Amino acid sequence: MSTTNRQIILARRPRGWVEPDDFGTREGPVPDPGAGDVLVRAIYMSLDPYMRGRMDDAKSYATPFQLGAPLKARVVGEVARSRNPAFADGDLVFGMLDWADYTLVPGGGGLRAIPPGDLPLAYHLGALGMPGMTAWIGMEIGQPKPGDTVFVSAASGAVGQIAGQIGKLKGCRVAGSAGSDAKAAFVTDDLGFDAAFNYKTAGDLLAALQARCPDGIDVYFDNVGGAMLEAALDHANPFARFVECGMISQYNLSRDETPGIRNLTHINRKRITMQGFIVSDHADRMDAFMAEMTGWLESGAVKYRIDTAEGLEAAPLAFIEMLKGGNFGKQVVRIGPEP
């Protein structure tokens, strides 16, 4: 076991787009667990768009990251040293840990054991983790019925991949948008979406939706907000459900910089329901989600693509790139080797 622990800290709060200098690195000794504590060695770390919000000092559903302290993320790791009877050295676990090689978890609080299985370990940050459950809960909210058209933005992303595949499993026509031709091809050719397009080269977004969703949109699984939301409102069917999962196009814009959504009158005319949700409000559904998603993954009914950055030191740039759509699939960082 290494005797040095590297941590990535929040050096300053970003203004607008995140920059490399917003991060800092701190090195210190690997901490020694006290009675009841668990020391975890990181293997894979999850990078997620919602973290952008935690870098601000603004009241939100998640508390802000502390300046000068390590950033936090969901991490899959191995128990390096346990002084807690609930965990043994070598156990595979996940929890909200530091951006670091090692995290000391007081009392083992929040750590969960990873059940044995053949699925890739990093799936516990993606399809079987928070993004997968977000898609699963969101598609419950969207109530897709067989024959409905489901449109998913950021379709090749951590959440979008799953949301669209659930739509197919529910008997819907599914279309997606993504940020490159390769991503659009991936969701149709590999994931089984019926249609997809590259929003960066599509030009008129409404025309792009009309071509891919000839019967309108019944469920919009929104990961991006902004101009795509406006186009989806234009193309929505009466009684459409807009599942408001995220608005990544807005996260780095101040209010004065955003063009705003100008066609919300459709909400009334078309009797649209827009519902925001946060997966952590639905923790009571975790076991049902894990059971169903594990089955889908093991049977091959659902596929999942992961984009792996190599090494803790790569995390800041990988995060910055992900906010710009530079990832292809669920973004994780490999911090240390699998056991």
Q: Which residues bind a copy of itself (CB under 8 A)?
A: 53, 60-61, 225, 229, 238, 244-247, 250-251, 255-256, 258-278, 281
Least distance CB 291 / a copy of itself (angstroms): 25
DSSP code for 71: -
Torsion, CA 99, CA 100, CA 101, CA 104, rounded to 10: -100
Query: How many Å apart are CA 16 and CA 23, to the nearest integer?
Result: 15
- Per the CB < 8 A criterion, the answer to whether 53 and 60 are in contact is yes
Within a 10 A sphere around the Cβ of 202, how many other Cβ atoms?
A: 18
DSSP code for 329: S
Contacts of 248 (CB under 8 A, 6+ apart): 49, 154, 223, 224, 225, 323
Least distance CB 222 / a copy of itself (angstroms): 9
Using alpha carbons only, how large is the chain's radius of gyration in Å?
20
Using CA atoms, how far residue 261 sits from 73, 207, 209, 247, 254, in Å, is 31, 18, 17, 12, 14
Q: H or E element: which one contains 159?
A: none
Least distance CB 54 / a copy of itself (angstroms): 11
C-beta of 185 vs 278, nearer to a copy of itself: 278
Query: How many Å apart are CA 50 and CA 218, to the nearest integer?
Result: 26
C-beta of 77 vs 138, nearer to a copy of itself: 138
C-beta of 54 vs 212, nearer to a copy of itself: 54
Least distance CB 98 / a copy of itself (angstroms): 24
Least distance CB 274 / a copy of itself (angstroms): 4
Beta strand pairing call for 102-105 and 173-178: unpaired
C-beta of 93 vs 247, nearer to a copy of itself: 247
Least distance CB 283 / a copy of itself (angstroms): 14
C-beta of 277 vs 328, nearer to a copy of itself: 277
C-beta of 85 vs 260, nearer to a copy of itself: 260
Least distance CB 314 / a copy of itself (angstroms): 28
C-beta of 42 vs 209, nearer to a copy of itself: 209
- Per the CB < 8 A criterion, the answer to whether 63 and 54 are in contact is yes
Query: How many Å apart are CA 245 and CA 50, to the nearest integer?
Result: 10
